[in-house]
Chains A and B, each alone.
Chain A
Amino acid sequence: MNGLLRGNAWIFRGLLDIDYEICSFTLSRDLHNSTPEALGKHCMTNVDPDFPKKVRKGDFIVAEENMGYGHDHFHGCMSILGAGVGAVLCESAAPYFLRNSLELGLPVIELPGVVAAVEQGDPLEVDLIRGTFRNLRSQAGLSFTPPPGFILEMLEAGGIYPLLTRMAGEGRLPKR
C-alpha cells in the first residue's frame, strides 16, 4: 500500500448525524438493495442536494467535531464510499462512525486543526503511512499518528470482509 491520497476538499460544518445529515437512515430500509452505489446517490443530500453529482472520485470530506454523530448505523459510511469520497478528515469522529468506516475500507483521519487549514475546493494530499497532511494550495501541513498495520491492511484490502475473503482463500479461516 502506498497510502497516498489526493483529492479536493468538501467542507461540511456543524454536527453531522450519521442518520440524517450524512444519509437518511430510513433509506437503508427503503432501498431494497442498500449498496454503497445506491446509498451514494443520497450522500449528504440533506445538507447539499447536489453533492453526489459534484463530488469527484477521491475527493475528501472535511468535517468539524464528532463527524458521524449518533448511532452505529453504517449505511452513512457506505453512502460516503458510494459517492466516491476517498477519505474523511475531521476534527474528531464519532467512535462508531470511525470503526465502521475503517472496517468498510474508508479512511477516516482525526486531524485537529484541519478545518482551519482548508478552504472549500482546496487540493489536499494525505499520506496514511507517514501520517502527514498537506494543503497543496496553501502548503499548510499537519501530522497525525498513522493507523496501525492491521488497519492499513484492512483499508488496502477495501475493508474487513475483502480481507477475510483473502484470508479464507489462503486457508487461514477454519472451514465448516
Chain B
Amino acid sequence: MGKTITEKILARAAGKTEVIPGDYVTVRSRCPVIFGHHSFDMVRDRGLSLITKLGVKIFDPAKVIIVDGHGGSSSGGNIAEVRWLAQKWARDMGVPPENLFNLGRGGIENMMSAEHIWPLPGEAFFQGCNGHLSTVGALGAFPCALAHGAGAYLMKGSTWIRVPKSVKIVLKGRMPEKGVYARDIFEFVLSRIGPTGGMGGVLEWTGEAVNRMSMDERFSLCSSAIFTGAWTAIMNPDDRTIDYVKSRTRERFDLLKSDPDARYVAVHEFDVSNVEPLVVPPPKRHIIKTVTELKGIKLNRGFIGSDSGGWFEHMQVAAKILKGRKIPCDVILNITPGTVEILSRMLETDMLKTFVEAGCVVPDPNEGQEVGMNTLLAAGEVCIASAQTNYPGRMGSHQADIYLANPATVAASCLEGRIADPRSYL
C-alpha cells in the first residue's frame, strides 16, 4: 500500500520501516529546534526553567536556535527582559553565540527557517511555539510546534507524535492573473472545506496551480493550515523546491514524496481559475467574503506583513500599488518585511522609497502588529491586514475590528480609506 510524504518522513524520523495514521511514535530530528523570543517567553516558565532547576543537560546545545522574531525593535512590554533572559539562558546551556539571531539579524522565525533551510526536504522539524510553522511544509519537510512540550524535547532530544492522517487538496486550473494570491486560495479552500475540513490531519497541497506557484506563495499557502483544523501542512518537493534548497545550502538531502496510491482521509479538488480577492471579516477566522461583498467599509489602519503576507513578492505587489501614490492622512499603513533577507532584497529596489513617500511606516523585520506587539489598534479602529488572525484583541484593543485580506487588497484599501478591490490598481 502506498504512503503519504508525511507517513514516510515520520517513519524515517522514528527509525521504523513504516507507520500508519494513529500510531504513536517517538521522533528525533537532525534539524535544529528553533525558538522565537515570543515562544521563548511562553515556554520559559514551563519547561525551560525546569531544565535549569533540575540541572539536567539539553540534548544538543548546538541544535538550539533562538530568533528575535515576533517583537522587533519597536515593541514594548517585557520584550527587553525576554531578550536578555534568552541570551543568558542560551549561554548557560552552551548554545553557540552564532545560533542567536538577535535584533538586526532576525525576522519571523518560521520564515527564516525556510530561508536558512533549517529543515531539509524529508525531515521532521520542530519549534517552540508557533502554529504557523506549517509554512515550511512547502519544503517537503514535516513541521510541528512543540509548544508546552518544548522543554521536554530539549531534555530528551525526541518527542512523541501520533501519526496524523492526510487530507489531499488538489488545486486545478490557473489562478487569475490580477489581484489573487496564495492567501486567497487558502481562504477559498477554507470556505469550501470549513474549519473542520482538515481535522487533526496534515493538509497536503498538490495540483497544477500549486506547481505554478513561487516558493513565496507556497510558503504563504502552507502557513495557515491550523484554521482548517489541521495540525500542519506539507507539499511534495518538485524542481522548484529543489532549486530553492540547493541555492541556499550545500547539505545533501534525501527527499520523499507521496506514492500515487497513498491513502488519504479525504481528497478535495478545486478549480482556482475564478477565485476572487477574498476578505475575512471580524471576528471569526472561518467566515469568508469576497472583496466585492465588503467593498466600501471604512477603515483607518492597515498592515502588510506576517508569514502569510510578508514575503518579498508581497512587498513587490504593495510597492506596485503604492508607487507614486499617497495614503490619506487619517490612515496608518504598517508594512513589515518578514525577515532581514527580505528587507535586504528590498534595498536593492526602490520599494522603501515608495513606501516612505506613500506615507507608510516600515518597522524592522518582525511579526509585530500581527501579534499585537507594535503599532497596536485602539478601541474603535478598523484595520485591514495581510495577517493570520482576526479575533478580538489580536492586535490590541478588543474593541478594534480586523479584516484579513491579501497584500494588494490591503494596499488598495489603505489608499482609499475603505475596503477596495485591488484589481483596478494592477
Contact = CB atoms under 8 A, between A and B. Distances in A.
A74 B149 CA distance: 10
Interface in A92-127: 92-96, 98-100, 103-104
Contacts of B149: 99-100, 103, 160
A70 B389 contact: yes
B151 A161 contact: yes
Contacts of B24: 148, 150
Interface string B160-198: 100010000000000000000000000000000001100
Interface residues of B, number: 45
A95 B151 contact: no
A19 B285 CA distance: 11
B85 to A, nearest CB: 14
Given A70-B227, A72-B147, A164-B50, A175 B55 contact: yes
B284 A174 contact: no
A72 B50 contact: no
Interface stretch (B252-260, B339-347, B390-398): B390-398
Interface residues of A, number: 43
Given A19-B394, A174-B57, A74 B148 contact: yes
Contacts of B393: 20, 24-26
Contacts of A150: 24, 160
Nearest to B38: A29
B6 to A, nearest CB: 13
A66 interface: yes
A17 interface: yes
Interface of B: 24, 42, 45-47, 50, 54-57, 77-78, 129-131, 145, 147-149, 151-152, 155-156, 160, 164, 195-196, 199-200, 226-227, 229-231, 283-286, 372, 389, 391-394, 398
20 contacts: A17-B285, A20-B392, A25-B391, A66-B196, A66-B229, A69-B227, A69-B285, A71-B131, A72-B130, A95-B229, A96-B131, A99-B149, A103-B148, A103-B149, A150-B24, A150-B160, A161-B47, A161-B152, A173-B56, A173-B155
